Chain A
Amino acid sequence: MNYILEILPSLLAGAKLTLEVFIWTLVGSLPLGLIVALGLMSRFKLVKGVLRFYVWLMRGTPLLLQLIFVFYGLPILASWLILPRYEAALVAFILNYTAYFAEIFRGGLQSIDKGQYESARVLRLTYWQTIRKIVAPQVVKIVLPSIGNEIINLVKDSSLVYVIGLGDLLRAGNIATARDVTLVPLIMVGIIYLMMTAILTFVLSKLENHYSYWK
């Protein structure tokens, strides 16, 4: 018990970094994902082509490789592209998750019946009124389970930042395990991840419930 209390502060410090990466990635990639989704449905072939390539690249290569590339690779390409570790991690995560969210949003947007747009149009709603009042609430309900899945993934993916030397939760546990030759820190790391995902699962199911008043 004493040992647990002894290593807890370092684990919690790691968990704090994990949460920061998690939150900032969401803050950046959710809105960007929506914008990219709109771009993927654009009439402009060039916009569409560029964004398709971007999504293909992000989904087609490991996040670990992207992380390494942003931190170690970019400075080799151009000397002004040196990013501190933390910022490099955020850039890589946001770029990666934006691609996944964009595909989810695109699916949601395309599943809205065109009759909904036509109804709104003959009622003289403007484009933005239609998006805000008619399309968005329906898309949110449709994409919520898939978004939730990605959000849970993100909590665990954030452990990849150890590769560029950031002290997240997993790294803190790893260090303690190597130093003290015991599995206790890693078990605690597992428990902390489980608690974080349990809270998220709870919040997400609340949100889904909130949208269950209509079908």
Chain B
Amino acid sequence: MLELKNITKRFGKKTIIDKLNLQVADGEILCIVGESGGGKTTLLRCISGLEKIDQGQLLIDGQAFDPSSPASEAVIGVVFQEYNLFPHLTVLENITLAPKMVLKMEATEAKKEAEQLLAKLSLSDKATLYPYQLSGGQKQRVAIARALAMQPKILCYDEPTSALDPNLSQAVKEIILDLKKSGMTQIIVTHDWDFAAEIADQTLKVKPLKF
């Protein structure tokens, strides 16, 4: 279980997140929805350790942890809005790089696991391609595979449907629900209320704080 206790985040004097409390049970899907400028992405960045929180505490299974510390384990994976694949590496290398370098996995083992992930996400024929050769939807699935390869407990998505046409949104939805079945906790930032309504167990609405 992921718990947020009294999370506060400021940029300079501007408070973006004010004393937020939240719990996400294992295997649950939390959707963070709301208008632009409401701090959706900032909250996701705090949870994934890309921004330092100013106050409050993050807990996983009751244990406090600091996602921004390099020592913390890879419990949180992120699928970025722009995917941020590594352009100079093949699909397979994108996925195996971190398991090899960080988890010190053997090359053959990392490759085997990556191939399983690719098969699961119907990308098997794309393993040797470079990101520029992929469509938006394919890039996104590679980004999901890359995050999953680090065996996270929680997977975060930033606006997963914003760059996709409607039938591809359907495909992402299926992937997310599939991962839910396998017990993955997922946090999804989206401005798409319908999408959120279809998949969320819990919805957090954020809006810009008044001054």
Contacts and interface: CB of A to CB of B under 8 A. Distances in A.
A122 B48 contact: yes
Interface in A117-139: 118-119, 121-126, 129, 133-134, 137-138
A51 to B, nearest CB: 28
B50 A122 contact: yes
A122 B150 CA distance: 10
A215 B87 contact: yes
A122 B102 CA distance: 11
Interface in B1-59: 48-50
A133 B97 contact: yes
A213 interface: yes
A68 B33 CA distance: 67
Q: Is the interface of A mostly helix, strand, loop or mixed?
A: helix
Nearest to B50: A118
Interface in A91-144: 113, 115-116, 118-119, 121-126, 129, 133-134, 137-138, 141
A214 interface: yes
B50 A213 contact: no
B88 A124 contact: no
Contact of B88 (A115, A126, A129, A214): A214
A123 B132 contact: no
Nearest to B77: A122
Given A121-B50, A129-B101, A133-B101, A214 B87 contact: yes
A113 B87 CA distance: 11
A213 B88 CA distance: 8
Contacts of B97: 123, 125, 133
Interface in A21-77: none
A134 B82 contact: no
B33 to A, nearest CB: 22
A138 B101 CA distance: 19
Contacts of B48: 122
Contacts of B200: none
B130 interface: yes
B84 A116 contact: yes
A56 to B, nearest CB: 32
B74 A123 contact: yes
A54 B74 CA distance: 42
B74 A113 contact: no
Contacts of B146: 123
Contacts of A138: 87-88
A121 B88 contact: no
Interface in A130-172: 133-134, 137-138, 141
A142 to B, nearest CB: 11
B62 interface: no
B206 interface: no
Given A129-B101, A214-B87, A215-B132, A123 B150 contact: yes
B195 interface: no
A97 to B, nearest CB: 27
Interface string B59-103: 000000000001001101110101011111000000001100110
Q: Which 7 A-B pairs have the closest CB atoms?
A: A123-B98, A115-B84, A119-B84, A215-B132, A122-B78, A214-B130, A124-B102
Interface of A: 113, 115-116, 118-119, 121-126, 129, 133-134, 137-138, 141, 213-215
